[in-house]
Amino acid sequence: MGYAVVDVETTGFAAGRSDRIVEVAVVHVDELGRRTGEWCTLLNPGRDLGPQHVHRISAADVWDAPTFARAAGALARRLAGRVLVAHNLGFDARFLAAEFGRLGVDLALDGLCTMRLAARYLPGRGRSLRECCAAAGVALDDAHSALHDARATAGLLAHYLRHGALAGPTVPWPRLPGDDVGEVRRGHAVATAPIERVALRPGDRVAFTGQLAEPRDVWISRAHDAGLVSQSCVTRSTRVLVAADPFTLSGKARRARAYRVPIVPERAFGALVEALRR
């Protein structure tokens, strides 16, 4: 049978509403606690990436990554016939159930939670993944990376298994198409942003998206000083959208691409403003 240790990184906490999985990892562990395989891929959520300062995944990273719908078959195949394990299982299970639910697959997910099991095997210690790993002597190399967190959780599971076998339910995972989708790992982005050739004139309308290096209010003030008009949303009359990340999947960026509005990075916009002032 064995275990499938899972971790997901997400755009937020609202699994059943607008938030999505942006990275998923599965580590296989046998009944003796030995790691026997692993799989991990980034996912394109079709929306902004949420707290990037936490998971450190860029829009460029997920630009060419599969959607959950494309990767669902590969994921289900790696979970089938094994006990699902996660640290704070409720969180990961909610997101997995919501993503499969969007594909018309209703799942009641259950398994083993290494956070809850810590009360039995690590009494008196903290319950976060970092605190549990420190108490059990398990390495946690890169927190909030799905693969590294899954490896650390697999290490916790192995620590627990030294005290005896752990039984858990298995989920009847469906067989879905696309079970051979390739992995897209973080840090291996090959996409390059197109260079937008654009000039600005006084009266042009500009909009901003993302967490810019300089405060947005500063950029809006500079735009106004140069005779530009700042918009809070993107319309067909918007001349440029200034983005912290030109690969951004934000709602403004999706609208800009639909309207063929050029998306320019912050530094390029600064050069356009300077040219307008000359």
Q: Is the pLDDT of residue 90 over 80?
A: yes
For 18, half-sphere exposure in the C-beta direction (CA atoms, 13 angstrom radius) is 6
d(CA 228, CA 100): 45
d(CA 113, CA 224): 54
d(CA 79, CA 40): 12
* Token pair in block for residue 248: 């951004």
d(CA 90, CA 160): 19
Domains of the chain, start order: 3-161 (3.30.420.10), 205-277 (3.40.50.10190)
Per-residue model confidence as pLDDT tens digits over 106-163: 999 999 999 999 999 999 889 999 999 999 999 998 788 999 999 999 999 999 999 9
Backbone torsions φ then ψ of 276, nearest 5 degrees: -70, -30
Quote the pLDDT of residue 190. Answer: 60
Confidence of residue 196 (pLDDT cuts 50, 70, 90): confident
* Token pair in block for residue 143: 């927190």
**Amino acid code (one letter) for 223:** A
d(CA 51, CA 49): 7
- Are 243 and 210 in contact, with CB atoms under 8 Å apart? yes
Average pLDDT over residues 188-197: 66
**Nearest CA-CA partner of 85 in 162, 160, 11:** 160
Q: Is the pLDDT of residue 238 over 90?
A: yes
Average pLDDT over residues 171-193: 78
Burial class (CB in 10 A: 0-12, 13-18, 19+), 278: exposed
Per-residue model confidence as pLDDT tens digits over 31-65: 999 999 999 999 999 988 887 778 888 888 888 89
Quote the pLDDT of residue 182. Answer: 82
CB crowding 115-154: b at 16 or more within 10 Å, else e: bebbeebbeeeeeebeebbebbebebeeebbbbbbbbbbb
Quote the pLDDT of residue 204. Answer: 96
d(CA 115, CA 126): 9
Q: Is the pLDDT of residue 97 over 90?
A: yes
Tell me the average pLDDT of the chain. Answer: 92
pTM given for the model: 0.81
d(CA 24, CA 72): 11
Average pLDDT over residues 69-93: 96
Quote the pLDDT of residue 144. Answer: 83
